Structure formats: structure tokens, C-alpha cells
Amino acid sequence: MNKKEAIVAIVAIILLSIGITSTIYVQSHQVEKGEFIKVANEKIYINDIFNKCKIMNISVDEKGIEKNYEGVVLSDIINMTNLKNKEEHDYTIVGINPDGGTYRKTVSWKDMENGILTKELRTIFPDLRRAFWIKDVIEIEVI
């Protein structure tokens, strides 16, 4: 191996080492572990919601047709936070509109105990009008 080949090999080893080291550093310092919903100013990861909370089925009469939905009870999601006196609050559910704006509706604790969040991130409230069924939920604010 001549001097030129040795220098090229050393530079290649240095660059490879820098690349490996920076990849390890970035992966070890990643904060996010997936998509989340902001709940009471805390990040609750969607995977955690559907892995830790009980899945519930509800039936809703939609214009004379019985439809079944499956999801996690919304109050169980609130119970994953550090919020105190949960039943004393109202909750504003925020979703994203197709145009990028937000859509929000406020519900009571009782509604949160009856409503679900589906895996499609849609709220279903069997006791409320469809206007309260929020799609693409990104946040639940505490009022």
C-alpha cells in the first residue's frame, strides 16, 4: 500500500467513525417515541393509550342504522395524566381540519366517561350530537 492509499484509508475510517458516532448519539438522545396527543399539558403517546387502556365497544343509532365503534374510554386517557380532581373539569377536544385549522368542542367529565377515542383518533359520544365527534384529535385541554 502506498502513502496515498494509506491516507485515503485513514480518512475513510475517520469519516465512518464520525458517522457511526453521530448516529448513536442522535438515537440515544431522541425524546419522542412516536405520535402523541397532548392531554392536560402532557404528552400521552398513542401507542401507550391503546396498549394500557381498556378497549370498549359502543353502539350508536345513526339514522336508523346501528353502528358499532371500538376505542378507549376518554376518561381513561385523562386518568393517565397527573391531573387532580378530574371530575371537576370540562374538557375541550381539539382536532385538525383538512385545511390545517383546528376544530374544538367542550364536553363534561360525564361525557368523557361515556365517550371513546378510536384508533383513527376520532371521538365518539353516544349521548351527544355528531358535532361533538371530533376527527384527527391532537389535544385534550382541561378547562
The x, y and z cell numbers of residue 17, run together, are 467513525
Burial string for 98-136 (b: 16+ CB within 10 Å, else e) reads eeeeeeebebebebbebbbbbeebbbbbeebeeebbbee
111 φ/ψ angles, rounded to the nearest 5 degrees: -65, -40
| CATH superfamily of this structure's domain 36-142 | Oxidoreductase, molybdopterin-binding domain (3.90.420.10)
- 44 in Cβ contact with 77 (< 8 Å): yes
pLDDT recorded at residue 34: 56
Q: List the pLDDT tens digit at each of the 143 positions of the chain.
A: 788 888 888 988 998 888 887 776 555 444 333 599 999 999 999 999 999 999 999 999 888 899 999 999 999 999 999 999 999 999 999 999 888 889 999 999 999 999 999 999 999 999 999 999 999 999 999 99
Q: Name the residue among 76, 58, 77 with its Cα closest to residue 68.
A: 58
Strands laid side by side in the 91-96 sheet? 42-45, 36-39, 137-142, 91-96, 102-107
What is the pLDDT, as a whole number, of residue 84? 94
Would you kindly state where each structural domain of the chain is located, as residue ranges? 1-30, 36-142
C-alpha cell at 15: 469519516
